[in-house]
A = this chain, B = another copy of it.
Amino acid sequence: MTSRTDSGSRRAQVVGIGLIGGSIGMALRAGGWHVTGVDRDAVRVEKGVALGALDASGFDEDAAIMFVATPVGAVAEVVAQCLGRGSGVVTDVGSAKHAIVSAVPDGRFVGGHPMAGSEQEGVEGARPELFEGSVWVLTPVEGTDPGAHALVRSVVASLGAEVMELSPQRHDALVAMVSHVPHLTAASLMGLAAEGAEEHRALLRLAAGGFRDMTRIAAGHPGIWPDICVENRDAIVDVLRRLEEELAHTRSLVERGDRAGVLDILERARAARVNLPARVARTSEMAEVRIPVPDRPGVLAEVTTLASELGVDIADLEIAHSAEGDAGVLILVIEGESIDRLRDALAARGYHASMRSLA
């Protein structure tokens, strides 16, 4: 099971061969690393080798860097095992950090969390470019060995990710806010709406774009959430409590008919949302293009083909529905320098697009 070489400098170990572990293996191999992989389930390792995510099956004690990509509930234990068996640096990809980092106070361990994922699960969905342009959080602490930190940082950056350093607690609070609590809230809203079968039928007919947008993440795989809720319990509980307070405050404004108060909440939220970039990490200046979309076939094809023909790279695309009804605006995010080209071409075809810079 063990492979040995004289030098571990370009040898890596991955533990847990799923979507993330498999993608790390592929990206490392593309960068010239020799990657050994292990998983509780031997079939996943076989698949990983077959799909080109791994060079070999087993545990490479001489690996310079070991990635722990198991379910978050198992991370601390597996990190400790890796530190015991190998001599290299260990990092992980768990979506909660404080509990893990506190459980393994070893200078050779650097906590990590790539903010990348996919709707797909398993090594079958792995791809080497998964981390390109995404944010990868590292959570070094006081006792972290600077050399270990520097190595993890440079390897992660070499996978195409943008490294962001945060304390474990700060990471957990932020992720609870932007990922965990929104997910639980979407599920709560959906659950509330689904109460009672008869009610559900009517709701289905009325639920339009806004509601669908709000609850979309509730369609994701539930399996990972019990672990996340245990590992990031404190931060999730804190943010949930604050959201409940915020909703209770909003309710009291509605209850006493405080128009100005309601307007203030919505205006502040709008300003914050409008400033939320449509895509996370991008070095060049991006621009947002909004095109009202008439409800006829072919418009999407026409606009996206036009962009393609003009060499305009669409970094992101969404259809913003109104709160009620299905009418929409097609929102494209493109490189700022492409604005003029696309505007002229759209105008020539009769589209009334509005543009703004996201700089």
Contact = CB atoms under 8 A, between A and B. Distances in A.
B191 A177 contact: no
Interface stretch (A4-12, A48-56, A101-109, A130-138): A130-138
A279 B207 CA distance: 9
A316 interface: yes
A164 B270 CA distance: 32
Interface in A163-201: 164, 166, 170, 174-175, 177-179, 181-194, 199-200
A73 to B, nearest CB: 9
B135 A279 contact: no
A341 interface: no
Interface in A199-227: 199-200, 202-208, 210-223, 225-227
Copies in the complex: 2
A230 to B, nearest CB: 5
Contact of A187 (B116, B260, B265): B265
Interface string A289-319: 0101011011011001101100001101111
Contact of A179 (B191, B210, B246): B210
Which of A130, A137, A177, A324 has most chain B Cβ within 10 Å?
Answer: A324
A77 interface: no
A254 B236 CA distance: 8
Interface in A50-67: none
A267 interface: yes
A118 B322 contact: yes
Contact of A240 (B213, B254, B317): B254
Interface stretch (A36-44, A139-147, A325-333): A325-333
A346 interface: no
A188 B230 contact: no
Given A212-B278, A297-B314, 9 more contacts: A130-B327, A164-B206, A178-B193, A184-B250, A187-B250, A190-B273, A240-B251, A244-B244, A301-B307
